[in-house]
Amino acid sequence: MSAVASDPCVDYEAVIGLEVHAELKTKTKMFCGCRNEFGAKPNTNVCPVCLGLPGALPVTNRKAIELAVRFGAAVDAKIGRAVFHRKNYFYPDMPKDFQITQYDEPINAGGKVEILDAGALHTIHLTRAHLEEDTGKSQHQGVSGRIHDATSTLIDYNRAGVPLLEIVSEPDIRTPDQAKQYVNELRAVLGFLDISDVKMEEGSMRVDANVSVRPVGAEAFGVKVEVKNMNSVRSLVRALTYEIERQTVVYREGGRIVQETRHWEEEDGRTHSMRSKEEAADYRYFPEPDLVPITLDQAWIEAISAEVPGVFPSRRAVQLAEQYGFDLDRVASVVYTPGLCDWVEAEIAIGADPLRSLNWASQEVMAHLNETGGEVAGLALSKGVFADLSSLIDDGTLSKKLAREVLTEVLVSGKSPRTVVSEKGLAQISDESELERIVAEVIGANPETIEKIRAGNKKVVGFLVGQVMKATKGAANPEAVHRLIDSRL
Ligand SMILES: [Zn+2]
């Protein structure tokens, strides 16, 4: 590859595969009865099993298997047996000196995830989604909190043994943006299906990337580098962008890439070499002798699959965009928020205007959720909010602008749109005599504009309408204002 690669005229493309680790939403850990809980006092959720004390025996968590099957059903994976292996390595955060994971028989093999890419659906294939246990957490004591200048390290084993689903994609991703869409899609699916909390900031969802670059058109992959330590989708995009550029420059200058693990540093915006990458053989995988392979009952798998909604947010966005003529980007902002799309569709079903509902959801509702940090499920709203607002616009009570104000108030207070309108006296001025008086005032105050209109410049009528809207604080019906101005000139 390097012979072609040092040619400065060659264009490069990235080949990216992602490994997403999602902590499963179980009450207890993967192989013991300790609570699976974030934020507890260090080393309080531990027992002989997850501390790896001699003689302690693991027992598989049924719920973890159920959640893994739920995911497999959603992504159309081949769901197999639950066979566990030991992955052997020495590191202080893994007290047993091995991690129980899955090796050649993952519970979910294959599968696919659809993402939005340049306004269309694009398929990313999955290699596997297997079950394993999480490690403990090291806390390096020192100025920077990092290992290189630490004076000592404390270890919290509360996380050791927490069930993880490791979702491995095929190297189907080509750009940082596709990686972002893929993670958004997975996060939504895992969240909607109640499989994981998917909080990247708290570490309940973690993403590692395998990145290589190759000349455009080449079949063979370049040497791949594993990048770790991205704790938000934003850092994932930054890290990938940096790493792709770094590798491209190395090749352009005739250098070679070494297979290694690199650490993303948020502060300096670079990846740093951590260690050379282990090969699978280094881990001496062997079947976990303390756990029997579990063959899953086909009827049980089917029962779980039957409850899994088959629609991905990306596919739903495309369907809604086609059905109602929505702008795809705007629908996309709605489908990734749990419950929001269901709400919009339910309102449309009872008569709400589709486009207005979508706009309200993607603007006022999203703004409210971002501001309060709340969720759709937590909004105390009665059914029919969008439908009511739509009819208040249709019957001339509210302008579109006032409807948005009413909605903002509805979201805060939980009152119905009609209650807000009457309490705040927000109804649009439809009383013609009142409007006529204001129109006359505005016309009287703008003789130069009137001259221009009489001289044939119709565009400036908009200015007069704006003045009337201003005088009424947006409470006038713009169509009525237009009509009244026309009739006077
Ligand atoms: Zn335990």
pLDDT digits (tens, 9 = 90+) for 207-231: 999 999 999 999 999 999 999 999 8
**pLDDT band (50, 70, 90) for residue 401:** confident
pLDDT digits (tens, 9 = 90+) for 25-81: 999 999 999 999 999 999 999 999 999 999 999 999 999 999 999 999 999 999 999
**pLDDT band (50, 70, 90) for residue 332:** confident
pLDDT at residue 303, as a whole number: 96
**What distance in angstroms lies between residue 94's CA and the mean position of ligand 1's atoms?**
13
pLDDT at residue 489, as a whole number: 76
Write out the two tokens for 151: 């004076």
Look at 199 and 357; give whichever has higher pLDDT: 357
**What distance in angstroms lies between residue 333's CA and the mean position of ligand 1's atoms?**
40
Q: Of 204-218, 220-234, 380-394, 428-442, where does mean pLDDT reach its minimum? A: 428-442
pLDDT digits (tens, 9 = 90+) for 104-163: 999 999 999 999 998 889 999 999 999 999 999 988 888 777 777 888 999 999 999 999
pLDDT at residue 430, as a whole number: 62
**What distance in angstroms lies between residue 161's CA and the mean position of ligand 1's atoms?**
7
Report percent pLDDT > 90 for the chain.
Answer: 65
- The per-residue b/e assignment along 24-36, b for 16 or more CB within 10 angstroms, e otherwise, is bbbebbbbbebeb
pLDDT at 279 over 80: no
Q: Which fold has domain 432-488?
A: Arc Repressor Mutant, subunit A (1.10.10)
pLDDT at residue 313, as a whole number: 92
Q: What is the mean pLDDT of residues 160-181?
A: 97
Residue ranges, comma separated, of all CATH 1.10.10.410 domains in the chain are: 432-488
**What distance in angstroms lies between residue 136's CA and the mean position of ligand 1's atoms?**
11
**What distance in angstroms lies between residue 47's CA and the mean position of ligand 1's atoms?**
4
pLDDT at residue 5, as a whole number: 47
**pLDDT band (50, 70, 90) for residue 1:** very low
What mean pLDDT is reported for the chain?
A: 90
**pLDDT band (50, 70, 90) for residue 383:** confident
pLDDT at residue 3, as a whole number: 44
**What distance in angstroms lies between residue 58's CA and the mean position of ligand 1's atoms?**
9
**What distance in angstroms lies between residue 206's CA and the mean position of ligand 1's atoms?**
22
**What distance in angstroms lies between residue 52's CA and the mean position of ligand 1's atoms?**
9
In which element (H, E) is residue 12 found? strand 12-23
pLDDT digits (tens, 9 = 90+) for 449-481: 888 888 888 888 888 888 888 888 777 777 778
- Which SS3 state, helix, strand or coil, does residue 82 take? strand
In contact, 420 and 406? CB cutoff 8 Å: yes
List, in sequence order, every residue forming a beta bridge with 230; answer none if it has no partner.
207
pLDDT at residue 8, as a whole number: 64
Write the CB contacts of 123 (distance below 8 Å, at least 6 apart in sequence). 112, 113, 114, 115, 172
> How many other CB atoms sit within 10 Å of the CB of residue 256?
11
pLDDT at 82 over 60: yes
In contact, 403 and 393? CB cutoff 8 Å: yes
Q: In this structure, what DSSP letter does residue 30 have?
A: S
- Which SS3 state, helix, strand or coil, does residue 149 take? helix
pTM of the predicted protein model = 0.82
pLDDT at residue 2, as a whole number: 43
Q: What is the mean pLDDT of residues 272-286?
A: 80
